[in-house]
Each structure stands twice: as structure tokens, then as C-alpha cells.
Amino acid sequence: MPLGQMIWRKSSYSGQSGSCVEVALVPEVVAVRDTKDRDGAVLMFPRRQWAAFLSGLRDRR
């Protein structure tokens, strides 16, 4: 899917500082970009790897 067609979401926990990331869920991957640099680099993670990352964050609480 072309980057321009992705639907980007920002966490509801993000404040107004702009220091956050946005994610787009596309088939088989999760795309991540810096909110302040929307035309910059986009990181792509396999969905399984992203799920493990989120699980690790939850376990730290």
C-alpha cells in the first residue's frame, strides 16, 4: 500500500507537544512515523514483532 493511502493514528495518550509517533496498520505490517516529520522516514514492523513490542511495554507497568 502506498504511504499516501495509509490511515495514520496517534495515541490517545499523546499530548499536544508533538513529541509522539503515529502508526498505520496495513496488511502484514505496522508502519510507524514521527508526528513532527510526516514526510520523513517510515519504519515497518511485522505485526507479530509489533505485538511483542506492545506486550513488552504493558509488562513494564
User: In this structure, what DSSP letter does residue 40 have?
Assistant: S
Residue 19 has pLDDT above 90, yes or no: no
**Distance, CA of 9 to CA of 45 (rounded, Å):** 16
Parse the chain into domains and list their residue ranges: 21-61
Residue 61 has pLDDT above 70, yes or no: no
Amino acid at 36: K
Phi-psi region of 38 (alpha: psi -120 to 50; beta: other; left: phi over 0): alpha
Phi, psi of 36 (to 5 degrees): -75, -15
pTM over 0.85: no
Task: Tell me the three cell numbers of residue 14.
Answer: 499523546
**Distance, CA of 12 to CA of 7 (rounded, Å):** 15
